[in-house]
Amino acid sequence: MVRAALWLSSAALFLPSVAFAQSAPVPATGDDYHRDAPPEIIITAPYARNQADILSGTSVLSGEELTRELRPTIGETLARQPGVSATSFGPNASRPVLRGLQGERVRVLTDGVGSFDVSNTSVDHAVAINPLTADRIEVLRGPSALLFGSSAIGGVVNVIDSRIPRRVPTEPIHVDALGTYGSAANERTGSAALDVPVTDKVVFHLDGTFGQTDDLRTGGYILSRPLRAQAAASADPEIRDLADLRGRLPNSQSKMWEVAGGAAIVTDTGNLGFSVNHLDNRYGVPVRYALDGGEAEEVSLHVQQTRADMRAEVNTGDGLLEKIRLRAGFADYRHDEIEDTGEIGTSFFNRGLEARLELVQAARGGWRGAVGGQMFIRDLNIVGEEKFLPKSETQQFGLFTLQSFDLGAFRAEAGGRYEYTVARAAADDLLGNDDIRRGFDSFSGSIGASVGLVDNVRFGVNASHTERAPSAEELFANGPHAGTQAFEVGNPGFAKEISDGLEATLKGSGDGYSFGLSAYHNWFRNFIYENPTGATEDDLPVFQYQQADARLWGFEAEASARVAEFGETGINLDGLADYTRATIVDRGPAPRIPPLRVLGGVEAQGRLVQVRGEVEHVTAQDRVAALETVTPAYTMVNASVSLRPFGRDSKTTLMVSANNLFDVEARRHASFLKDYAPLAGRDIRVTARLAL
């Protein structure tokens, strides 16, 4: 890892050397300083592309929509995007679920590289990315995410911020600030960022965030209907009382803070920047009540991460290459699982390093493309009484390319990736006296084309082949896992997980309207899943990781249209729907797959004021795996009013929103904890965003 870090530092010094000799860039002013690409442009790729040209589902959350959807976790922030659900392990640990896939099959990135946490290891582990500092969040679902690794087989979430500045402000100091109050958890959150130009080419950045919540107030009962019936039938009066438990979700409080600093040299032909941040997050894990008379613990997690990032870019001109980019990050992560006695039960230590080098080809007629390489190294060590995984190391090296061809009405695209992965586990009492090493060569690729049907309407088809190496957790687990309340057993002999997929898209936009439709089908071989064996170990049910064939299909649809105008105010209608169906061949339904969801909204968009109302209906999920319970349907009504006192183009906003207006009891089927932890009840939120 030390040699890799030295190589990255040398490359960083070399890449921008051409850029620093050039003239200064045209600086941005005021609210233009942090303005990014418009929502119809996707920048999570070697080169920016229009959403209509990407042959799979995509979403962009920015501007006022991002302000309205912001929550303390990245999962809840994105949960109302098409094709996206969330793990919802209480209000403080919620990771995105893309097309029914989660954990190892979804990559959560910050500006193109990983989060360097252990959120993929267990659903009670929070993602170490602060959404409150995001300028923009992009979601890529399906084969368009393959450039970021085989573990992105479900998709990629990329959180883009300004910690490494991209522009030089003209003001003596540029300020962005955000403050939020949410009534459901008595949430108090504030963040502020400062950018100070030192010269016409050098800018410094500083930001900080503080947030605190009480126990979350839910709508309705805490326990699900089957568990309430079980509690009511108990002979123990204390357990019977749990059947009537409602309101506040016990042990769901949180307190977090984060500070970061960065600096960049920016010219019109390149940039070089660095940032460092430290995150401290302590939160409670909602109680999983033992209705059989056992003891229920109130566990809290204390997360600490120190992270360093670097970005370099050179615009090389009109030769073979247009740009050379280098992006790298390193983090030292630790979290302690603290028991209700105050003692540390288990500690997780994780060190991660990731780097991407991208060579963007200069456009030649309708042909453009990029090639690149990626390196990822992860060292994970778990210490304590609930250690379920031996000390392990994962190394991954990849080469990739994306090539696109624009022939007018007809456009084609092809991408490929080779990846070599090595997973090692150290000898210990979990696996025996011998070290274990597994190596995997993985080949992934996609090819697709689209055709223009009429003006601004395109139909596309994409075929993909993806190979994923099993994770260390899937290979080497052999112990009690408190987060999933299971004794997990991996299999060091696993083969690669392989998926072949087809996806069709229909996208269009014009004056006052836009729409998108994606339908997909994936055929999995060696699909990795957890299967209950019926045995018990350490008073926990044993779940054995197994491999089998699987089928996954579904669709996503969204549309928006301006239906009326009154002076400077436009009336828009919008809606989305998504559905995923996943089956393990000869076994039955795959676990924790979200059901059909539809959402419709109406919005009045004026120059200074916007008013929105929406209704979200999630159907019941009665297609369940072994040991799962049926999740009832629910309907939520949300409303918001936002004011832009300095005009429509200003980032300064005051917003009041009411979520779950009728205080319904709602549970997400994708959550391990859904029967013990419903979603938030009525939540009145006041958010102020300031840009100076």
The Cα 513–Cα 562 span in angstroms is 6
Give the contacts of 228 (CB within 8 A, at least 6 positions apart): 221, 242, 243
The Cα 468–Cα 528 span in angstroms is 10
> Contact, 137 vs 130, CB < 8 A?
no
Using the structure block, give the residue that is written with the tokens 């209907």: 225
* 595 pLDDT higher than 70: yes
Give the highest mean pLDDT range of 100-109, 553-562, 621-630.
Answer: 553-562
> Contact, 692 vs 669, CB < 8 A?
no
Q: What share of the chain is helix, strand, coil (3-state, %, to 5)?
A: 10, 55, 35
* 7 pLDDT higher than 50: no
The Cα 226–Cα 541 span in angstroms is 19
Our CA angle for 109, 111, 112, nearest 5°, is: 60
The torsion angles phi and psi of 325, rounded to 5 degrees, stand at -125, 140
Measured between its terminal Cα atoms, the distance across the chain in Å is 41
Using the structure block, give the residue that is written with the tokens 């996943």: 582
Mean pLDDT of 104-119: 93
Give the contacts of 523 (CB within 8 A, at least 6 positions apart): 499, 500, 501, 549, 551
Q: pTM of the entire structure?
A: 0.92
* Beta-strand runs (E) in 134-233: 136-141, 155-160, 174-182, 187-197, 202-213, 217-221
> Contact, 84 vs 670, CB < 8 A?
no
- What per-residue confidence (pLDDT) applies to 540? 82
- What per-residue confidence (pLDDT) applies to 2? 42
Measure CA 153 to chain center: 13
- What per-residue confidence (pLDDT) applies to 406? 92
- What per-residue confidence (pLDDT) applies to 472? 92
Burial environment of residue 198 by CB neighbours within 10 A (0 to 12, 13 to 18, 19 or more): exposed
- What per-residue confidence (pLDDT) applies to 137? 95
- Report the b/e string of 312-331 with b at 16+ CB within 10 A: bbbbbeeeebbbbbbbbbbb
The Cα 87–Cα 85 span in angstroms is 7
Per-residue pLDDT tens digits for 221-245: 999 999 999 999 999 998 999 999 9
Per-residue pLDDT tens digits for 514-567: 999 999 999 999 999 988 888 888 888 898 999 999 999 999 999 999 999 998
The Cα 487–Cα 479 span in angstroms is 5
Using alpha carbons, select from 65, 551, 15 the residue that is nearest to residue 321: 15
**Complete DSSP assignment for 335-388:** EEEE-TTS-EEEEEEEEEEEEEEEEEEPPBTTEEEEEEEEEEEEEEEEEETT--
Per-residue pLDDT tens digits for 148-189: 988 888 899 999 999 999 999 888 999 999 999 999 999 999
> Contact, 300 vs 285, CB < 8 A?
yes
The Cα 88–Cα 4 span in angstroms is 36
The torsion angles phi and psi of 146, rounded to 5 degrees, stand at -65, -20
> Contact, 533 vs 483, CB < 8 A?
no
> Contact, 571 vs 604, CB < 8 A?
yes
Helices (H), 16-96: 63-69, 74-78
The Cα 28–Cα 84 span in angstroms is 34
Distances (CA, A) of 148 to 271, 400, 415, 603: 23, 9, 12, 36
**Complete DSSP assignment for 312-328:** EEEE--SSSEEEEEEEE
Of 19 and 87, the one with more pLDDT: 87
Measure CA 222 to chain center: 27
- What per-residue confidence (pLDDT) applies to 429? 67
Give the contacts of 274 (CB within 8 A, at least 6 positions apart): 164, 262, 263, 264, 308, 309, 310
* 433 pLDDT higher than 80: no
Mean pLDDT of 244-267: 96
**Complete DSSP assignment for 431-443:** TBSS-EEEEEEEE
Average pLDDT, the chain: 90
The Cα 226–Cα 247 span in angstroms is 18
- What per-residue confidence (pLDDT) applies to 572? 96
DSSP reduced 3-state for 542: strand
Q: How confident is the model at residue 277 (pLDDT cuts 50, 70, 90)?
A: very high
- What per-residue confidence (pLDDT) applies to 31? 39
The Cα 292–Cα 430 span in angstroms is 29
